[in-house]
């Protein structure tokens, strides 16, 4: 099969389209062989490419956590799926189990979900990592309740644009930071109540004004760095802030402490990295629930660009430019 190999840590040029062995020869008892039709590209892919994967002794590597495709073969113990089923999942791509920048892969049936029927393979492949991340951050770490007010950073981005929709599905009110009027219009279409143009406005003060000086119930940080601690004053006393980035060593915690904020850390890769079976199955359950929302027209995945598999390096360059709206997908 054709696959994009990461030959060494480095610039996007280390991603090379090559011929490799098809994985279907070693299908496990509960595994599916999937003919991939699309692979989502995420910031974690670019980080692993630059610094090296979590398993540096297992090189070269095939990156890409997100995949969507058609079941081509099943292990003897598979119960949920049959040959010909369309599936989507977040699995592999961290340096051990192969990722989805390839024509074929294997995935345990417990970690896959039926693809939403109403969207393309590209849209489905764009979805898993960002959906699971936003779902866990808002619903599980942040304990979001109907009627609460939420601040979501980078609302036009991959995680942000689905987080807005999940927050609205829960019955929350949403303000969100964006960099341009074009992106403000985009997030309004997703249901955002108040886009904050952060380049022109102090977002913390804007959030305070929006909440009558009290602060939001929950802030969701998808940016990291100084954005994390600059968000503390925007959150109400005894409120929550959840971040998907590791807090900077220079973070000033005083305001968070004085406001008794509850800090949540969200890394949806933990179950895969730690081999936590129950949590990986929970991720598949989240995808199954989101597929129902998508097919009901209540949740949309925005794909800004589709590229052929051979242009994985270009996809990484686009993500590293930092101004992507929605998601970039490799079509196979």
**Exposure letters 254-273 (e unless 16+ CB within 10 A, then b):** ebbeebebeebebebbebbe
pLDDT value for 140: 97
The reported pTM is 0.95
The 10s digit of each residue's pLDDT in 305-316 is 999 999 999 999
Enter the tokens of residue 100: 């989805």
The 10s digit of each residue's pLDDT in 141-164 is 999 999 999 999 999 999 999 999
**Among residues 189, 157, 172, which one has the least CA distance to residue 239?**
172
Q: Which residues pair with 194 in a beta bridge?
A: 175
pLDDT value for 25: 58
pLDDT value for 27: 75
Q: What is the DSSP string of 59-123?
A: -SB---SEEEEEEEEE-TT--S--TT-EEEEE---SSSS--SSBSEEEEEGGGEEEPPTTS-HHH
Percent share of the chain, pLDDT over 90 = 95
């Amino acid at each position: 099969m054709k696959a994009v190999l990461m030959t060494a840590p480095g610039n996007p040029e280390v991603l090379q389209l090559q011929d490799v062995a098809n994985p279907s020869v070693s299908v496990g008892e509960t595994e599916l062989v999937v003919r991939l039709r699309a692979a989502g590209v995420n910031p974690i892919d670019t980080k692993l490419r630059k610094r090296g994967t979590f398993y540096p002794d297992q090189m070269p590597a095939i990156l890409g956590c997100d995949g969507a495709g058609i079941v081509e073969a099943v292990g003897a113990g598979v119960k949920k799926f049959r040959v010909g089923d369309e599936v989507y999942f977040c699995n592999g791509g961290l340096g051990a189990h192969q990722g989805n920048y390839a024509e074929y892969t294997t995935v345990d049936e417990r970690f896959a979900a039926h693809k939403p029927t109403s969207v393309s393979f590209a849209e489905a492949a764009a979805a898993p990592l960002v959906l699971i991340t936003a779902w866990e951050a808002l619903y599980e770490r942040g304990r979001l309740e109907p009627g609460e007010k939420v601040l979501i950073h980078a609302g036009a981005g991959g995680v942000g644009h689905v987080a807005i929709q999940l927050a609205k599905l829960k019955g929350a009110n949403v303000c969100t930071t964006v960099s341009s009027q074009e992106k403000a219009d985009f997030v309004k279409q997703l249901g955002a109540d108040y886009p904050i143009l952060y380049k022109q406005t102090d977002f913390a003060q804007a959030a305070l004004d929006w909440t009558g000086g009290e602060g939001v119930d929950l802030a969701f940080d998808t940016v990291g760095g100084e954005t994390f601690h600059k968000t503390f004053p925007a959150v109400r006393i005894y409120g929550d802030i959840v971040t998907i980035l590791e807090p900077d060593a220079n973070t000033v915690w005083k305001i968070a402490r004085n406001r008794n904020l509850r800090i949540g850390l969200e890394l949806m890769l933990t179950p895969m990295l730690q081999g936590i079976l129950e949590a990986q199955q929970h991720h598949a359950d989240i995808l199954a629930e989101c597929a129902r929302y998508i097919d009901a027209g209540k949740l949309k995945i925005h794909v800004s660009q589709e590229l052929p598999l051979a242009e994985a390096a270009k996809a990484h360059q686009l993500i590293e430019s930092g101004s992507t709206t929605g998601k970039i997908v490799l079509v196979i």
